[in-house]
Chain A
Amino acid sequence: MIQAIAFYFFATIVVASAVMVVMARNPVHSVLWLIMAFFNAAGLMVLVGAEFIAMLLVIVYVGAVAVLFLFVVMMLDIDFAAMRAGIARNAPLGLLIAAVLLAELLLALGAYHAGGLTLGTPDGSAMPAADTSNIEALGALLYGRYIALFEIAGIILLVAMIGAIVLTFQPPKPGARARQDVGKQIRRRPEEATVMKNPGIGQGVEL
């Protein structure tokens, strides 16, 4: 009973916020609704007993990804009139994408009702023992059975990260201001940095 209430509560909020992400006029509001959706999706995860995934969802998506989204969107200089003017031109494309998504959704539903696929390993060998915690079960699978896939995923992410750094890295231009050397700054003493001058009245100082 209480599970059902909680499920419909979270699910309604997720769907409603997802709608608001699209409908909101202000992009910053869109991102905030998106965060709301993430957070309630985490609530759904807790309901099915996947507390580890729920926490990761909040830490990674709400705590890091959405902050960067917000960071970028807040700095956009948005002209609302120009944005609305494009709707008529982009509507066919948008409708097409929506139709494709709807078709896929229906297809998936049909496949599910027709028997569908069995998720996970059909022989049940990946099934964790009933009393293991989320983290232990996930760890045993990721670092045992699926270690190769897991490592490959890690390497791909590492390559992507290096790629991003290489793409955005700009070597210091010749003639640009020299880089700071913290050690040098700390070692600097007043004697090297300042000079005492005692100019006579009416005379300037030459440095």
Chain B
Amino acid sequence: MTAFFQSLGLPHEWAWTVATVAAIVIVSLLVMFSVAMVIYVDRKVLGAIMLRRGPNVVGPFGLLQSFADGLKVFLQETIIPSAANKGIFLLAPIITFTVALAAWAVIPFWDGGVIADINVGLLYILAISSMGVYGVVMSGWASNSKYPFFSAMRASAQMISYEVSIGFVLVCVVLFAGTFNLSGIVNAQQGFGLGLINAYAIHPLLFPMWVVFFISALAETARAPFDLTEAESELVAGYQTEYSSMSFALFWLGEYANILLMCSLNTLLFWGGWLPPLDIPVLYAVPGIIWFLLKTFVFFFMFSWIWATVPRYRYDQLMRLGWKVFLPMSLLFVAATSGYLMAIGHFA
């Protein structure tokens, strides 16, 4: 894109700046559009599993439902509780939303299709996603109300717990790939399985780690069965209870953008990103972004599927799973993976 703006007669620095800003705007808009579509898909899948129709009124097949909802919340009045801490109350949804968008800067959509191809891409994702908890904690505290506060407490403990095991899972992947750069990790997966399959997840040492990552991703995004932060049967709506109109919508959009991010991370780290599933030349005729979107969508479908089928965890069960099952298991696998890689001379 820099080259295009240079051809318009801009000097290199300016062309780069304009190109980067343009890329940020395009990616943000596309992510927002995908979020709108994915909310529709979520409701449709849920409807299908529950033997009802889901949204079907606005537009053909209800396709425009999310946009209608967006317009609705946009026109509503923002209500701020009089006892709330106003500044932080308004800042919280903005943080959730910004953080959810910022993480997309290092996601490669196809080979080279990334805004910032930085060396520490994976660490950047970890850093940004660990910021996400502040939106929830701040909103819970600033609402000055019981249920949001309980929810904030739960959220902070939950996210810290599962970030630990996610960190160890990522270490396993990085050991195999030898880089923190997401494009590098995807490229290292080409022909990984018997020279044919482009995926890390088929390795016996990495498949259990993928399962841990997938479940931790559910917990990290507070998705069912780990949606204890907004457990509607106990906490009304959790941290969102006091929010209305646009401030509520920002939480919603941020939440789904995070879910999409986790789905795309599943794709990039374990299932070959933009590479076709099999390392066959014919399959490379399909553009990389199609494979990427297809794989991400499959994971999103799994997220909805789980939401529709699995009952919510109890809080102590959630903590037990994180600290007593996933943490020892992922630690063990870090040791096993590094031992195995040393034994086969991977680092030589």
Q: Which residues of A contact B (CB under 8 A)?
A: 26, 28-29, 32, 35, 42, 51-52, 55-56, 58-59, 62-64, 67-68, 70-71, 74, 133-135, 180, 182
Contact at A64–B119, with CB atoms within 8 Å? no
Contact call A134/B120, Cβ cutoff below 8 A: yes
Contacts of A35 in B (CB 8 A): 134
Contact A55 B123 (CB under 8 A): yes
| Residues in B whose Cβ lies below 8 Å from that of A62 | 127, 130-131
Q: Taking the complex as formed, is B137 at the interface, i.e. its CB lies under 8 A from any CB of chain A?
A: yes
Report which of B124, B152, B159 forms a contact with A55, defined as CB distance below 8 A. Answer: B124
Q: B271 → chain A, closest Cβ, in Å?
A: 25
CB distance from A136 to the nearest CB of B (A): 9
Is there contact, CB below 8 Å, between B320 and A182?
Answer: yes
B123 adjacent to A59 (CB under 8 Å): yes
Check A74/B180 contact, CB under 8 A, given A58-B131, A182-B320. Answer: no
Interface contact A64-B120, CB-CB below 8 Å: no
Asked if B119 and A133 make an inter-chain contact with CB atoms under 8 angstroms apart, the answer reads yes
B58 within 8 A of A: no
B127 in complex: contacting residue of A29, A32, A59, A70, CB < 8 Å? A59
Give chain B residues whose Cβ lies under 8 Å from the Cβ of A58. 127-128, 130-131
- Chain B residue at minimal CB-CB distance from A64: B160
Taking CB atoms, residues of chain B closer than 8 Å to A135 are: 119-120, 180
A64 and B123 CA atoms in complex are apart in Å by 14
Closest Cβ of chain A to B252, distance in Å, is: 23
Quick check: A63 and B127 within 8 Å, CB to CB? yes
Give the number of residues in B that approach A within 8 Å (Cβ atoms): 29
Please tell me which one of the listed residues B128, B133, B180, B316 contacts residue A67 in the complex, with CB atoms under 8 A apart: B133
Q: Are A55 and B134 within 8 A (Cβ)? A: no
B residues 218-237 touching A (CB-CB < 8 Å): none
Q: Determine how close the nearest CB of chain B comes to the CB of A180; give it in whole angstroms.
A: 8
5 A-B residue pairs with CB within 8 Å: A42-B127, A59-B126, A64-B160, A71-B156, A135-B119
**Chain B neighbourhood of A32, CB < 8 A:** 88, 138
> B180 and A63: CB pair below 8 A?
no
New A-B pairs, 9, CB < 8 Å, besides A55-B124, A74-B137: A55-B126, A58-B131, A59-B123, A59-B130, A64-B160, A70-B134, A71-B157, A134-B119, A182-B320
Shortest CB–CB separation between residue B248 and chain A, in angstroms?
Answer: 22
Please tell me if B243 contacts chain A, counting CB pairs below 8 Å: no
Q: Which residues from A are CB-within-8-Å of B137? A: 67, 70-71, 74
CB-based contact A56/B123 at 8 Å: yes
Cα distance, A133 to B178, chains bound together (Å) = 12
Residues on A with C-beta less than 8 A from B126 are: 55, 59, 63
Q: Are A51 and B118 in contact (CB under 8 A)?
A: yes
- What is the bound-complex CA distance between A126 and B78, given in angstroms? 58
**Closest residue of B by beta carbon distance from A55:** B123
Q: How far is the CB of A67 from chain B (nearest CB, A)?
A: 5
B150-164 vs A, CB cutoff 8 Å, 1 = contact: the mask equals 001100110110010
Residues of B within 8 A of A134 (CB): 119-120
A167 to B85, CA, bound (A): 37
The answer, yes or no, to whether B141 is at the interface (CB within 8 Å) is yes
Least CB distance, A147 to chain B, in whole angstroms: 16
Give Cα distance in the complex from A35 to B92, angstroms: 14
Provide the bound-state CA to CA distance between A204 and B152, in Å.
Answer: 46
Residues of B within 8 A of A63 (CB): 126-127, 130-131, 133, 160, 163
Distance, CA A180 to CA B133, complexed state (A): 30
Considering the chains assembled together, what is the distance between the CA atoms of A200 and B275 in angstroms? 71
> Shortest beta-carbon distance, A34 to chain B, in Å?
12
Q: Quick one: given A32-B138, A55-B120, A135-B180, are A70 and B131 in contact (CB under 8 Å)?
A: no
Return chain A residues, CB-CB under 8 Å to B316.
180
Check B160 against A67 for contact (C-beta < 8 Å). yes
CB-CB < 8 A to B159: which residues of A? 67
Measured between alpha carbons, how far is A29 from B91 in the docked complex, in Å? 12
B335 to chain A, nearest CB (A): 15
Query: Which residues of A have CB within 8 Å of B317?
Result: 182
Nearest 10 A-B pairs (CB), nearest first?
A63-B130, A58-B127, A55-B123, A59-B127, A55-B127, A74-B141, A51-B120, A133-B119, A55-B120, A67-B156
Q: In the bound complex, what is the Cα–Cα distance between A28 and B134 (angstroms)?
A: 12
A56 neighbours in B (Cβ, 8 Å): 123
Give the shortest distance, in Å, between B171 (CB) and chain A (any CB).
Answer: 12
A-contacting residues, B314-328, CB 8 Å: 316-317, 320
* Smallest CB separation, A137 vs chain B (Å): 11
Distance of A35 Cα from B124 Cα, bound (Å): 17
CB distance from B145 to the nearest CB of A (A): 13
Q: Note all chain B residues with C-beta closer than 8 A to A74.
A: 137, 141, 149, 152
Chain B residues with CB below 8 A from A52, complex form: 120, 123
CB-CB < 8 A to B120: which residues of A?
51-52, 55, 134-135
